[in-house]
Structure 1
């Protein structure tokens, strides 16, 4: 595959689903995981898309990821529920957790869902979009257990994960307003994408093993490992710390410290505490009108007409539209790693080449 090639999303989805079926996933599980990964690529977040497949295969082969497992209710108290993800595919456990939370929000107007011990739950905005599609606001605090990648403000080495924070606000007859980002300056997966492409990351994102600033993504992919920095210095660090506590400790999961350190970088365990709110609960009849008035006001003053002001989530909407029409871009290094992972789990060369021919057509 040449660098810069674009793949049709539906054909790529069929291939990814076949990869997980080959690994042993039941049909619904393979579909849920493929749905999520392809959606991440379509939204422009390749760091959380199909490039995760090699890591998932390694995690499964090492005994960390448990296929065909599901989230289990640990405690239920009215509008609140705590779930153990049972090291299942995060795309399965989080889907089940959000479905239960949405059901409770319909019943109570508000719900709180705590999920711990789940394998990697992927792009958090996807779960927020699941809530907004039901007409609900949602707030998500997420932590990564035992794989420190990010240095605290004034720190010299990694002490916690990328700890995403996410909020969504649904709008009538328009795309939802969506805030979704890692509390690190960039997501860890973006260093993987840059490493495969052989390009640097922006300044201010990384330090090497000696604590020296660098733009070389290899410091997060090759030993000895460096660290990501938080966004906005002390502000990002403070938000990351709160995500660690609210996402990890409050959910019934674990925080990152000496006793919880993982031995493999592919043993990605996430905790997520989610608050889901029915906006009708507050009796604000002008809420939608006020939201649209603010959106119009904000977008009305671009510094450069060629660079319009975008609302939160609008970049993903535009990218999704473009990639649905033109295909999903994938660099040669990432594609090779995915094919190698497919071979590792036993996909025949004939099947792999058949998919490659479909994707190339």
Structure 2
């Protein structure tokens, strides 16, 4: 395991995406989003994704330099089409629209369909929380990302289907960012790259048997992720399909979907201005009381108080900004191979390890 400075990793990714056909602003946006995911500890949605994005671009599955277009405009109700562009760009444009519509109407319901991979969904909840808004986000794919066995089944039918929520808090955004699957497929990639076993109870092999070997997930026939919490996660996942897929027009996960040959994310975002529901100061005071109340609980481990959603990310970010971002040898190799294929120079920290 090696560590690389965030700025050096950012510059490498910018170079890769520029070489992959992205204009400067897009390359910067995608790189910044992926590096931020590394910084906050969401390594499954970070720089590890860059080689795969570039492969999708080469295959015509992901289209550089696209922007969100309006498909439906009904005041606080808005549906945007991503045109199969980078989700980091489409998501940012959608959140900017959400803020505009909430300022005008007090709330907004924003649908995104036909977007490339939207990355770390918690980033979009953070964006709105930093603007003083409360939000919830539901995501699915339209068929390419079918990975999860419904509760009581042993074969894939659903996507990992993340849910995120955010609110302004006294110490910064309070952000929940979870998959409805027991783990994210990207975390299996991370474990595979590190040569580590998976915790039990997360994954099945192609025969429906529980496994801890990440390599077995990728064999033929492929394995399946389990939903978290049994029927609870499975039920939430079904509603991600309905809300993010069916309701936005992006379609639910299905192998026969016309966009199932490429990774397409759809997202439904509900955003609210708490000040429009009464006294904004009262809202902030009550959230502060809630955070104090939760933190005052007797800790299970002495000296380690309970954490609120988003706190571990802030702590990890500070540590990784100080000490560098950890990269396993397989991820380093994949980034080096992508750099060589695109004629991009490796930063010194990586070049010394290849």
Q: Superposition pairs for residues 174-323 of structure 1, below 5 Å?
A: 174-260=171-257, 267-284=262-279, 285-300=281-296, 301-323=298-320
Q: Distance in 2 between matches of 1:261 and 1:316?
A: 37
Equivalent of 1:114 in 111, 115, 128: 111
Deviation at 1:262, TM superposition (A): 6.5
Aligned-residue CA RMSD in angstroms? Answer: 1.6
Matched, 1:154 2:128: no
Q: Distance in 2 between matches of 1:234 and 1:358?
A: 44
Give the gaps of 5 or more residues in structure 1: none
> Could you report, residue by residue, the CA deviation over 1:164-193 in whole angstroms, capped at 9, with x for unpaired residues?
001101124x11111111100011100000
Give SS of 1:317's match.
helix
> Could you report, residue by residue, the CA deviation over 1:289-318 in whole angstroms, capped at 9, with x for unpaired residues?
222222112112112224321011111111
For residue 164 of structure 1, what is the aligned residue in structure 2? 162
For residue 47 of structure 1, what is the aligned residue in structure 2? 44
Matched, 1:29 2:21: no
Q: Distance in 2 between matches of 1:263 and 1:109?
A: 36
Decide whether aligned partners of structure 1 residues 310 and 359 sit closer, same or farther in structure 2, where only a CA change above 3 A counts.
Answer: farther
For residue 38 of structure 1, what is the aligned residue in structure 2? 35
Give SS of 1:28's match.
helix
Cα pair 2:68 2:94 within 8 Å, conserved? yes
Matched, 1:356 2:353: no
Q: TM-score, normalised by structure 1?
A: 0.93
Decide whether aligned partners of structure 1 residues 360 and 296 sit closer, same or farther in structure 2, where only a CA change above 3 A counts.
Answer: farther
Q: Distance in 2 between matches of 1:261 and 1:322?
A: 44
Deviation at 1:358, TM superposition (A): 7.6
Q: Superposition pairs for residues 83-94 of structure 1, below 5 Å?
A: 83-94=80-91
Cα pair 2:206 2:219 within 8 Å, conserved? no
Equivalent of 1:347 in 343, 347, 351: 343
Deviation at 1:97, TM superposition (A): 0.7
Cα pair 1:7 1:360 within 8 Å, conserved? no
Decide whether aligned partners of structure 1 residues 118 and 343 sit closer, same or farther in structure 2, where only a CA change above 3 A counts.
Answer: same
Give the gaps of 5 or more residues in structure 2: none
Matched, 1:95 2:92: yes
Cα pair 2:206 2:217 within 8 Å, conserved? no
Decide whether aligned partners of structure 1 residues 106 and 357 sit closer, same or farther in structure 2, where only a CA change above 3 A counts.
Answer: same
Deviation at 1:24, TM superposition (A): 1.2
Of 32-41 and 213-222, deviating more is 213-222
> Could you report, residue by residue, the CA deviation over 1:321-347 in whole angstroms, capped at 9, with x for unpaired residues?
111111100001011111212223x21
> Could you report, residue by residue, the CA deviation over 1:186-240 in whole angstroms, capped at 9, with x for unpaired residues?
1110000000111111111000001011111113334331000000000000001
Give SS of 1:91's match.
helix
Q: Distance in 1 between matches of 2:263 and 2:215?
A: 20
Q: Distance in 2 between matches of 1:360 and 1:313?
A: 34
Cα pair 2:254 2:260 within 8 Å, conserved? no
Deviation at 1:287, TM superposition (A): 2.0
Q: Distance in 1 between matches of 2:67 and 2:40?
A: 26
Of 251-260 and 188-197, deviating more is 251-260
> Could you report, residue by residue, the CA deviation over 1:116-139 in whole angstroms, capped at 9, with x for unpaired residues?
000100000011111111111111
Matched, 1:8 2:22: no
Cα pair 2:136 2:269 within 8 Å, conserved? yes
Q: TM-score, normalised by structure 2?
A: 0.95
Cα pair 2:142 2:260 within 8 Å, conserved? no
